[in-house]
């Protein structure tokens, strides 16, 4: 597995592109209601925070990579919707029936999104928030950092 280093101050420039400001606060029409307290002041969860939320149950874990990447390694129980198909399939997920079993997140459900490095996941979070899934979070550093933080991965 190759690691991609994104040196844009984590949520800095990428955060601006995803509807987060330099300090990580959500901006514009995408601002989260006060009822959804962010675990940090940006669009990302650390791999450790993501692991805690996944272990607590109730979160929808979403892999936005391509199927061959998912087949190589993924977080156990993750649904797979490649980023390019996210808008069309998030509400009616008929992709990869053997993996997804028709699972879709609720609008009020925590969605934890990951990819290889965090870039596609951040784009997915921006898309999801625009679609009304306001409790969507990208795992900072992607699957590579998840493994380093001890989050399990399976083939």
Residue 82, domain CATH:
3.40.250.10
Q: How far, in whole angstroms, is CA 101 from its chain's centroid?
A: 19
Residue 6, in any domain of the structure: no
* Residues whose CB is less than 8 angstroms from the CB of residue 152 and which lie 6 or more positions away in sequence, other chains included: 75, 76
**Residues in the chain, how many?**
155
CB atoms within 10 A of CB 15: 26
Residue 7, in any domain of the structure: no
Percent of the chain exceeding pLDDT 90 equals: 62
pLDDT in tens, 112-132: 999 999 999 999 999 999 999
Name the domain count of the chain.
1
Residue 3, in any domain of the structure: no
What tokens does 47 get?
Answer: 């791999």
Report the DSSP beta bridge partners of residue 20: 26
CB atoms within 10 A of CB 133: 23
Whether residue 127 contacts residue 115, with contact meaning beta carbons closer than 8 Å, is answered with no
The better pLDDT of the pair 140, 34 is held by 140
Domain containing residue 118: 12-148
Does the structure show a pLDDT above 60 at 105?
yes
pLDDT in tens, 75-98: 999 999 999 999 999 999 999 999
Calculate mean pLDDT across residues 15-21: 43
Residue 5, in any domain of the structure: no
pTM confidence score: 0.74
């Amino acid at each position: 597995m190759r690691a991609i280093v994104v040196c844009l101050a984590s949520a800095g420039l990428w955060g601006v592109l995803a509807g987060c400001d330099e300090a990580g606060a959500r901006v514009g029409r995408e601002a989260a209601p006060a009822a959804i307290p962010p675990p940090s002041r940006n669009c990302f969860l650390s791999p450790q925070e993501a692991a805690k939320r996944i272990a607590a149950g109730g979160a929808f874990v979403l892999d936005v990579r391509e199927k061959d990447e998912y087949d190589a390694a993924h977080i156990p129980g993750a649904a797979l919707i490649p980023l390019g198909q996210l808008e069309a399939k998030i509400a009616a997920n008929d992709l990869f029936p053997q993996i997804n079993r028709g699972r879709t997140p609720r609008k009020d459900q925590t969605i934890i999104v990951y990819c290889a490095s965090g870039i596609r996941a951040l784009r997915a979070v921006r898309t999801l928030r625009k679609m009304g899934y306001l409790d969507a979070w990208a795992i900072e550093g992607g699957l590579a950092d998840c493994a380093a933080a001890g989050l399990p991965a399976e083939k």
